[in-house]
Amino acid sequence: MESTVQDALLARVERLERQNTRLWGSLLAVAGLAILGLTGRVGAEAPPETIEARRFVLKDDAGQRRGDWFVEGSQGRLRLYGPDGKKTGELPLQAGPFLLEH
């Protein structure tokens, strides 16, 4: 009789282990899909053909602002900044020759 109880317990433990494995697999799959969804990797749209903005901020690898490309009035401008964050120059962007302003 003791062998029957042990066999029943062994069968139950094996069934619980299979259920646990399936549960963990399902949990990991759901977590993976959630991470992909949050990062925008699932169903990502094609990049737009046109990007419109009033200003573009240019940053270096460290994330420090190194330039601005913007429109002031009817004239485009490119403003540059040094490593210390101070303005080092500005270019008016228009048809014709460029002039560097300090």
At residue 52, the pLDDT reads 85
* Run of H or E including 13: helix 2-39
Fill in the DSSP letter of residue 38: H
% of the chain surpassing 70 pLDDT: 81
For 2-11, 39-48, 59-68, which range has the lowest pLDDT when averaged over its residues?
A: 39-48
Facing residues of 19 across strands?
A: none
More confident call, 1 vs 27: 27
Same structural domain, 14 and 36? yes
Q: What is the pLDDT of residue 46?
A: 73
Residue 16 within any structural domain of the chain: yes
Number of domains the chain contains = 2
pLDDT higher than threshold 70 for residue 96: no
Q: Letter for the amino acid at 102?
A: H
Answer yes or no: do 36 and 63 share one domain: no
How much of the chain exceeds pLDDT 90, in percent? Answer: 18
Q: Which strands sit side by side in the sheet containing 87-93, from one edge to the other?
A: 55-59, 65-72, 75-81, 87-93
Q: How far apart are CA 101 and CA 8, in angstroms?
A: 87
Quick one: DSSP state of residue 72? E
Could you tell me if residue 25 is inside a domain? yes
